[in-house]
Every structure is written in C-alpha cells, then in structure tokens.
Chains A and B, each alone.
Chain A
Amino acid sequence: GAVVSQHPSRVICKSGTSVKIECRSLDFQATTMFWYRQFPKQSLMLMATSNEGSKATYEQGVEKDKFLINHASLTLSTLTVTSAHPEDSSFYICSARFWDRGGNTIYFGEGSWLTVV
C-alpha cells in the first residue's frame, strides 16, 4: 500500500510553546489529508481535513487558531499545536487519500506522540 510518514514520532514540549508535526505522502501525491487525535484507550477523533492549496476544514469543537494546519504541497501537510498545554498531550495521527484504479483508499501515518509538560 501507499506510505504515509509522520515526523516527529515523539515530541516533548513545554507548556505555552508551539510544536509542529509533519505528515508526508512518500510515494504519491495527496490533495487531501486528514488529522486525527487519539487519547489513551479511546478511538480516533477527526480534527480537520487538510486540502492542498486551500484552508483546512475543521470538525466541530476543534479550535482552528490553536491547531494550525498547512497543506502547501501535494506531499506535505503540517499540524502546529500553538500555545500547547498539558491537556493537548495526545497521539496525533495523519492520513492521506490515495487514488488508484479501484477508486481511493485512505492510508495512515505512524502517529506522533505529543507530551506537554
């Protein structure tokens, strides 16, 4: 299947600082990427849909000024958690839509653990 990679896999930051997580589609171009957050023992919660060259679409209840999403190229989307607080500590996962002859399938990155101290 198609490969989606995230970086960093783990990051620790101080409360009040900002941290950026990258999501790359390694062997295909992705006009649409998705960002999820997952707390321990819980399911994935969709945060936003990232569209190349345009503004992201945020799910209800997700603060767009706190979770900045940029999708400047067909292979890279970034999520910046601004003014991070301990409650933002979570597993952040991106995914990208891959088009093939059978339609399209969504592939996920390995996830990024964020710990805010």
Chain B
Amino acid sequence: DAKTTQPNSMESNEEEPVHLPCNHSTISGTDYIHWYRQLPSQGPEYVIHGLTSNVNNRMASLAIAEDRKSSTLILHRATLRDAAVYYCILRSLTGTASKLTFGTGTRLQVTL
C-alpha cells in the first residue's frame, strides 16, 4: 500500500480554519484519498474522501493537488469537538478487500 506522511500534531484556535496536510508521493492511479478522525476512546469516524477533484461535505473540504501527491483536509471553523487524531489514508479499490491501513495521523489540538 502507498504510504502517507502527516505532521504528528497541530494546534488551532477555536473558530479559525484548520488546514491538515498529507503527503502521498507514491500514490497510484487507483488510490482514493480518505480521511478519518478518531476522538479519544472512540472508533474512527469517516470524514471525507476523493480521487482527483476537490470535495466538500458538511464536515470538511478536501483539496487535492493536481499531481495528487498531496492533499489537505480543511476544517472551516474549528471547534473544541474537532480535537482528535486525523488520519489520511490511501485506499485502493483494486484487490478483494480494499482495506484501510492507518498511519500515525495528526493530533489536532483546539484551544479557546
């Protein structure tokens, strides 16, 4: 599986936008970019995913570089409830299982 690189941690003030970067220089043409987040003592929560075009949903936006070697998860207005570990994961839809392999993620701290 192609790997992703994320900063270990980031901080943000509440009500401000947050840009969480992810590098995936070895991404293949069949890899989708998925983002999940995990709050303390909970299972991961799906945030967003995309292939080539930027994507928006009620939780966040995903900006994908033209060469697809990096992407950025954008939280438009961070709240204290957004404090979590954010995982950027490449998921290929080839093969039988299309499983998710987690890296170390970015721990986001949100302060007042």
Q: Which residues of A contact B (CB under 8 A)?
A: 1, 4, 6, 32, 34, 36, 43-46, 49, 57, 91, 93-95, 97, 103-111, 113
In the complex, how many angstroms separate the beta carbon of A114 from the nearest chain B beta carbon? Answer: 13
Q: Which residues of B contact A (CB under 8 A)?
A: 36, 38, 41-46, 49, 87, 91, 93, 97-105
The chain A residue sitting closest to B104, CB to CB, is A43
In the complex, how many angstroms separate the beta carbon of A3 from the nearest chain B beta carbon? Answer: 11
The chain A residue sitting closest to B93, CB to CB, is A103
- B102 and A43 contacting across the interface, CB-CB below 8 Å: yes
Give the residue among A32, A43, A107 with the most B Cβ atoms within 10 A: A43
Which chain B residues border A57 with CB–CB below 8 Å? 97
Query: What are 10 A-B contacts with C-beta separation under 8 Å?
Result: A1-B46, A6-B43, A34-B97, A43-B87, A46-B100, A49-B99, A106-B91, A108-B43, A109-B43, A110-B42
In the complex, how many angstroms separate the beta carbon of B8 from the nearest chain A beta carbon? Answer: 12
- B41 and A91 contacting across the interface, CB-CB below 8 Å: yes
- A46 and B99 contacting across the interface, CB-CB below 8 Å: yes
Which chain B residues border A93 with CB–CB below 8 Å? 43-44
In the complex, how many angstroms separate the beta carbon of B62 from the nearest chain A beta carbon? Answer: 14
